[in-house]
């Protein structure tokens, strides 16, 4: 029996005990599980927003924060789906708030490790499945099958597809990837009995979560922060940025890295994706953990052909340099960190705020 299987058995026992301790709170809620490689957070927040706009009582947990009874709380560094005890406690707080719905961003790790055992999913939806987490899952097929576990656990199962719901095309200035996220939310809410009118009106008032296509500086040039950290996410984000924000004479300056002790096979693909749409590339650190950050950056760079790039290991310095060279009509895009509150170097989590890092860079460059 391998170590991972032993860990999964441990997590299963933890989940059983947590459910017993808190009295299986999900049985008194309609839990909506959202999984997928990209788009989980936006879809989770949007579903919750639509339900709230329809007058429903709803709480939710996403990688950005937990919102229980309207009170937001942090869920920890690099966490999407909390541990079994933390999650069951949140579900219990939701039932104490007399909520009807609970929207839960659900990762493949949580599904594989049995951390969501005992949760009574009313609806399960997969936003998409693309290249990611192959360090943990043995191959793409195993990763895909793990995602499908959510559908097996749910009363109502909604598979991923590329269909954009026609109603969503009434929402102005949506990127294609967000059209797909909005379509996913629409399908969930329709299955829950909401009308097109209620859904559309709610979608029109929705604001994307922090760090999702976040235009944080808009003067002579623009700065956008986004959580994109997979090859597919970059292939979706960067052309959308070019289309929405980049004028003909401007450049797209991209700052990004790839996490250490995670799927290394995606790194050249991320470099290739960036090179396809960026004009200037700064490769930098992103939670390199105990890996050599130089090696990680070189692996990313191996996918870059015929495009100008620099390796600047310190993320603050990379941001400083990217903003320093920005000219009128340029767009600087920072990906991979977004809402996260720490940067892991070695075995230490250092406090990190991508927004403050940008403000510092603007200040020293006299913008």
Report the pLDDT value the prediction gives residue 143, as an integer from 0 to 100: 87
> Are residues 36 and 130 located together in one domain of the fold?
yes
Q: Is 305 inside a domain boundary?
A: yes
> Are residues 322 and 287 located together in one domain of the fold?
yes
> Other C-beta atoms within 10 Å of 21: how many?
13
End residue of a domain, out of 152, 185, 204: 204
> Are residues 87 and 143 located together in one domain of the fold?
yes
> Other C-beta atoms within 10 Å of 97: how many?
15
What is the number of alpha carbons within 13 Å of residue 159 lying toward its C-beta?
5
What is the rounded distance in angstroms from the CA atom of residue 161 to the CA atom of residue 145?
16
Q: Rounded to the nearest 10 degrees, how much is the dihedral formed by the CA atoms of 269, 274, 277, 279?
A: -140
What is the rounded distance in angstroms from the CA atom of residue 87 to the CA atom of residue 343?
24
> Are residues 48 and 176 located together in one domain of the fold?
yes
Q: Is 248 inside a domain boundary?
A: yes
Q: Is 53 inside a domain boundary?
A: yes
Report the pLDDT value the prediction gives residue 162, as an integer from 0 to 100: 84
> Other C-beta atoms within 10 Å of 328: how many?
10
> Are residues 238 and 198 located together in one domain of the fold?
no
Q: Which of 166, 40, 162, 165 is nearest to 103 (CA)?
A: 40
CATH of the domain at 78: 3.40.1190.10
Residue linked to tokens 């709230």: 52
Q: Is 209 inside a domain boundary?
A: no
Report the pLDDT value the prediction gives residue 160, as an integer from 0 to 100: 82
> Are residues 25 and 68 located together in one domain of the fold?
yes
What is the rounded distance in angstroms from the CA atom of residue 221 to the CA atom of residue 270?
24
End residue of a domain, out of 173, 204, 235: 204
Q: What is the pLDDT along the chain (367 residues), one digit of tens a residue?
A: 577 888 889 999 999 999 999 999 999 999 999 999 899 999 999 999 999 999 999 999 999 999 999 999 998 888 788 999 999 999 999 999 999 999 999 999 999 999 999 999 999 999 998 877 777 777 888 888 999 999 999 999 999 888 999 999 999 989 999 999 999 999 999 999 999 999 999 999 999 999 999 999 999 999 999 999 999 999 999 999 999 999 888 999 999 999 999 999 999 999 999 999 999 999 999 999 999 999 999 999 999 998 989 999 999 999 999 999 999 999 999 999 999 999 999 999 999 999 999 999 999 999 8
Q: Give residue 87's domain range.
A: 3-204
Q: Is 29 inside a domain boundary?
A: yes
Residues in a beta bridge with 191 = none
Q: Is 138 inside a domain boundary?
A: yes
Provide the number of structural domains found in the chain: 2
End residue of a domain, out of 204, 227, 255: 204
**Beta-strand pair 331-335/252-256:** parallel
> Are residues 166 and 185 located together in one domain of the fold?
yes
CATH of the domain at 356: 3.90.190.20
| Inter-residue contact 227 to 39 (CB < 8 Å) | no
């Amino acid at each position: 029996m391998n170590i991972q299987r032993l860990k999964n058995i441990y997590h299963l026992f933890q989940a059983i005990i947590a459910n017993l301790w808190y009295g299986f709170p999900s049985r008194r809620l309609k839990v909506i599980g959202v999984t997928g490689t990209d788009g989980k957070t936006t879809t989770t927040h949007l579903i919750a927003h639509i339900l709230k706009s329809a007058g429903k009582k709803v709480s939710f947990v996403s990688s950005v924060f937990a919102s229980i009874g309207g009170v937001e709380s942090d869920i920890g560094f690099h966490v999407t789906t909390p541990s079994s005890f933390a999650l069951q406690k949140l579900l219990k707080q939701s039932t104490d708030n007399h909520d009807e719905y609970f929207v839960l961003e659900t990762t493949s790790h949580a599904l594989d490790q049995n951390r969501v055992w005992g949760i009574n999913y009313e609806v399960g939806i997969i936003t998409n499945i693309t290249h990611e987490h192959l360090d943990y899952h043995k191959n793409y097929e195993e990763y895909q099958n793990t995602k499908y576990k959510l559908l097996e656990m749910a009363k109502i199962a909604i598979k991923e597809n590329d269909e954009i719901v026609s109603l969503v095309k009434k929402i102005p200035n949506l990127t294609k990837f967000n059209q797909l996220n909005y379509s996913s939310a629409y399908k969930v809410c329709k299955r829950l009995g909401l009308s097109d009118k209620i859904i559309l009106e709610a979608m029109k008032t929705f604001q994307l979560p922090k760090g999702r296509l976040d235009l944080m500086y808009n003067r002579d040039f623009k700065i956008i922060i986004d959580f994109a950290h997979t090859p597919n996410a970059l292939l979706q984000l960067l052309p959308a940025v070019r289309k929405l924000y980049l004028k003909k004479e401007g450049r797209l300056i991209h700052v990004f890295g790839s996490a250490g002790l995670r799927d290394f096979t995606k790194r050249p693909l991320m470099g290739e994706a960036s090179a396809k749409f960026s004009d200037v590339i700064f490769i930098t650190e992103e939670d390199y953990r105990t890996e050599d950050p130089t090696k990680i950056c070189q692996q990313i760079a191996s996918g870059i052909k015929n495009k100008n790039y620099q390796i600047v290991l310190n993320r603050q310095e990379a941001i400083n340099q990217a903003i320093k060279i920005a000219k009128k009509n340029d767009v600087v895009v920072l990906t991979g960190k977004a809402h996260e509150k720490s940067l892991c170097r070695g075995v230490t989590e250092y406090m990190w705020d991508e927004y403050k890092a940008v403000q510092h860079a603007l200040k020293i460059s006299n913008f």
